[in-house]
Structure 1
């Protein structure tokens, strides 16, 4: 059963990522683009975790953890830059 469900979920996450890239390029304002980038890394994280479950490999979960930390830090840095204009006070 998982042989059918996991590739289907990966395709759906790929479609969601493509829609996020569209919003990232077309977004009318900077906050829309930051939100699209934040959602894009979460979708990429989900695709990597699904791929790791599909291949039963622990290496993909470590990569997903690194992407999650990097994505969180970049979202905080972009949010601070949008509010204050500087990242480091």
Structure 2
């Protein structure tokens, strides 16, 4: 596919729906001694999400794991479409 065709197709993208564990994180699970879960997010993913939002692409996240860290990250990035802790 040549560059003009790719750009034409990319302009048609309206939404970006992402899983979290292993997509926006490195896939590892970190727990404190108190059992609190910590996730590690890369700043470049956040930058890419903000760039997508800036050009009008709606961003949504779906995760089977409920996590306060994930809720905080979604809020920080302005992601309002969140399905967190869903199994189906």
Q: Which has the higher strand share?
A: 2
TM over 0.5: no
The normalised TM-score by structure 2 is 0.28
The normalised TM-score by structure 1 is 0.28
Q: Which has the higher helix share?
A: 1
